[in-house]
Amino acid sequence: MSLPAFQKYEELVPELKLEIWRQASLSPGVHHFKVRPWIGTRGADLNVQRVDITPAGQADSDPSVWRARIRIAKADKYSWDVVKKLLKGASTKEIWRPQRGNYSGAVIDCDRDLVCVRFHGLISNPYIGNFGDFDKLAGIRRVAVEYRKNWRPSIMYNWPQPIFQCLCHNTTHDITAVCPKAFEDFIPYFPDIDVFYFMVKLTSQTIIPPPPVPKGKKRSRQGVIKEDDQQPEPAPAESPTRGKVAQVTSETFTKFRDIAERNKLDTFEDRVYTYCEAREADTSCLLMHEEIWKVFSELKGLWKLAKTKLPPPYPVREPELKVLVYTELKKR
């Protein structure tokens, strides 16, 4: 994805350059990575569980913010100096670096940014096994996983979605459900995690259709049926070919975004999407509303049970559990 050219940038005063850089750097930002576990078979790695961390895609398809920041840094010396200060901050961490060439790596701000993980492989609690790569994932405080209805129960590494395969004894989950036990074993991979998010993309497959509007009435941008004395609101620009489904999706995301802004909820950006926090009280319009919050509730129960055992089977860290929503909607 190429950044638009700004021919007059070089002529701006440093203060304006700094403000442009701050707006374009998408902070707090979202970074997308693949995490693949593997077991060593020889030498010092014999029977030690390791993880490989790589970007989620190539430069033209990966929307991660770290790529955008590197491109902005190349605008001029002033931008490069600003980036260097950011990348050398106390809360920064280099997650990945190319094995060849003198190229910049993926640096994130652990205190502000969000890491979206695509886990490729079988989840195994790193504290119960012999895990040797805690340092690679240490410091990351905000972690997200894409929530999809059809989770695939497999340990194949080449499938693109995280695999929350059922690990419960004497219990058979629906194969499309998230297993709370696998979820419990996933969290400890991140020893410093403070918040975990399920990310939900708003589409016709994830939103409960609203009831039809009574004849002669209209909906507001927030999806609320307006009374007769209310002034009409300007509708968001939509292509006439997108149809009613796109309108419902747009109105639903606008509602979530407005709620997030009013209540100062978490909001993140990458090069393509804006992600807004959605509280439990506001997600009843989602088809997976009950599924997600039930998984969260069962996970808290597993944490509570683990803490009652002496000694606990692993250090129990209980991050906040939240939901983020996003959709195919142009940024404001």
3-state secondary structure 155-199: CCCCCCCCCCCCCCCCCCCCCCCCCHHHHHHHHHHCCCCCEEEEE
Average pLDDT rounded to a whole number, residues 84-90: 71
Average pLDDT, the chain: 81
Look at residue 167 and tell me if it is in a domain: yes
Look at residue 164 and tell me if it is in a domain: yes
pLDDT value at residue 327:
93
pLDDT value at residue 150:
53
Strand bridging mode 114-119 / 142-146 = parallel
Look at residue 249 and tell me if it is in a domain: no
Look at residue 253 and tell me if it is in a domain: no
Look at residue 95 and tell me if it is in a domain: yes
H or E segment to which residue 320 belongs: strand 320-326
Look at residue 318 and tell me if it is in a domain: yes
CA atoms within 13 A on the CB side of 163: 20
Range of the domain at 273: 9-205+266-326
- Quote the number of domains for the chain: 1
Is residue 271's pLDDT more than 70? yes
For 195-220, the pLDDT digits (tens) are 999 999 999 889 998 777 676 666 56
In contact, 67 and 130? CB cutoff 8 Å: no
Q: What is the pTM of this model?
A: 0.82
The count of other CB atoms within 10 Å of the CB of residue 150 is 7
Average pLDDT rounded to a whole number, residues 121-140: 91
Look at residue 127 and tell me if it is in a domain: yes
pLDDT value at residue 136:
95
pLDDT value at residue 294:
93
Look at residue 87 and tell me if it is in a domain: yes
- Above pLDDT 70, what percent of the chain? 70
Is residue 331's pLDDT more than 70? no
Most confident of 19-33, 126-140, 151-165: 126-140
Is residue 52's pLDDT more than 80? yes
pLDDT value at residue 332:
60
DSSP 268: E
